[in-house]
Amino acid sequence: MQRIAAAAEEMLRDRLIPFWKALQDQGYGGYYGYMDFDHRLDKKAEKGCILNSRILWFFAEAAHTLQDGSLLPYARHAYEFLREKCVDREYGGVYWSLTYDGKPLDETKHTYNQAFAVYALSAYFRLTGDREALALAGGLFRIIEERCTDEGGYLEAFTRDFRPASNEKLSENGVLAERTMNTLLHVFEGYSGLYQACGDPAAAAAMKRILELYAGKVYNPEKRRQEVFFDREYRSLIDLTSYGHDIESSWLMDRGCGLLDDPALRKRISAVNSELADSVLKTAFDGHSLANECERGAVDGSRIWWVQAEALLCFVNEFAKRPDRVEFREAAAELWRYIREKLEDRRPGGEWFWRLDETGVPDSAKPTVEPWKCPYHNGRMCMELIRRDPDVYV
């Protein structure tokens, strides 16, 4: 585990940070939004606000983790773009996407998108102490709580002025969901960042509500998985296991719950998360890497970049929680080897491939950068490995 942590720091410093630095748009602000498989950059592609929020989070957290002040200008560049262009000054909230030169393109206000902006702004505040960034994060938190919820929990998509809209953006697999596990997870993550930054008791209360929804509505104890897509009453819309989201939740919910002073809740949530980790290790890990998902009994064996990053953190987290379960340590070591040998793009100027087939061949139809392909999952993997004492569960 210590060797993996050292190698993760090398990957962060020598591959991920230089790659994303090079995407800074000094003309129109923010970071460029698209690079194809062959590393051809499209400087006039749309700029996803989720992508730019995640880049802000990445540089802020990397500067904090590595204690590297040279990264502050890159975080500030992302912050100024988010503040000036992504935030809707008339109706509030963050747009879905902008044109390359910073004009609103898709004006959808999605709860998921607001949550990532909270996460990024909170990280920037922790790095810089900039009270304006914290105020923006707090304002978005209130927008989510006041405009993106109902009596049952969190809703999904809205128009620019926060009237309900259809949720194609966070629905897949042929269903149209009114609630999703994915949005709930990342609202929790955004609130965790805000609570870590300023100790807001309202954020803590909201986190506890989300954990109750997670354990009571989203987690399916009979199938030992999370359900993915729901109607408004939390009825599952499809027989689907998302291995990547299950293992992401298993460590991320542990981490967020650990911020709260509630030992009983932490124990309860930790047990759910360990069940998820056990199930995914048993059903989706082939000894080297992790399958993507299983829909109606049919496994998608694609090896997706973010799934491998989250799986490694899940395995490390579980081994730290249960050091007698050496299979998690062994799985982490094998998965790290797979990432370095197969998933990392060793071509000059490369980062990670988006998708590999089951034999490890990269999918040349998938780009290197686009609104969902970002430094968030693999960057976070490296930083979590650097920060964690491998012998202590934090």
d(CA 310, CA 305): 9
Does the residue 34 lie in any domain? Answer: yes
Q: What is the pLDDT of residues 78-99, one digit of tens each?
A: 999 999 999 999 999 999 999 9
Could you give the C-alpha distances from 386 to 9, 83, 189, 327, in angstroms and in order?
6, 30, 20, 21
Confidence (pLDDT) at 389: 57
Does the residue 273 lie in any domain? Answer: yes
Does the residue 393 lie in any domain? Answer: no
State the total domains in the chain.
1
Does the residue 6 lie in any domain? Answer: yes
Residue 85 near residue 98 (C-beta atoms within 8 A):
yes
Q: What is the pLDDT of residues 201-210, one digit of tens each?
A: 999 999 999 9
As a three-state string, the secondary structure of 126-170 is HHHCCHHHHHHHHHHHHHHHHHCEECCEECCEECCCCCECCCHHH
Kindly give the parts of the chain with pLDDT less than 50: 390-394
Does the residue 189 lie in any domain? Answer: yes
For 117, the domain range is 2-351+361-387
Does the residue 39 lie in any domain? Answer: yes
Q: Which two structure tokens, joined as six digits, stand for 24?
A: 């800074």
Residue 229 near residue 240 (C-beta atoms within 8 A):
yes
d(CA 214, CA 122): 23
Please name the residues in contact with 31: beta carbons below 8 A apart, sequence gap of 6 or more.
20, 23, 24, 25, 47, 51, 52, 55, 78, 81
Report the CATH number that the domain containing residue 276 is assigned in CATH. 1.50.10.10
Beta strands at 225-226 and 179-180: parallel, antiparallel or unpaired: unpaired
Residue 311 near residue 290 (C-beta atoms within 8 A):
yes
| Region at 16 (left for phi over 0; alpha for psi -120 to 50; beta for the rest) | alpha
Does the residue 288 lie in any domain? Answer: yes
d(CA 286, CA 202): 42
d(CA 110, CA 101): 22
Does the residue 50 lie in any domain? Answer: yes
Helix then strand count (H, E) for the chain reads 13, 16
